[in-house]
Amino acid sequence: MHTASPWRFSVAPMMDWTDRHCRAFHRVLSRHALLYTEMVTANAIIHGDPDRLLRWNRAAEGTVALQLGRGVRLR
């Protein structure tokens, strides 16, 4: 049995384009869109600024799916 997704449409992220401002704009277009973050690597979160990388404005952006990627293996 196939159940329908609650999301009307999804917006795929685009490198160097889909940031929190773009997601807020997309949310204005539709409250029912599934929006994704830019791809964030685990190493960037661990060794970088996680507060900046994982920040989103729930009121403006709504539900956002985090795209977590595997970074380059450190040796």
With bands split at pLDDT 50, 70 and 90, how would you rate the model's confidence at 72? low
pLDDT in tens, 11-68: 777 766 778 888 888 888 888 888 888 888 888 888 888 888 888 777 777 788 888 8
pLDDT at 73: 64
pLDDT at 75: 62
Residue type, 19: D
Higher pLDDT, 8 or 28: 28
* Dihedral sign, Cα of residue 54, residue 59, residue 60, residue 65: positive
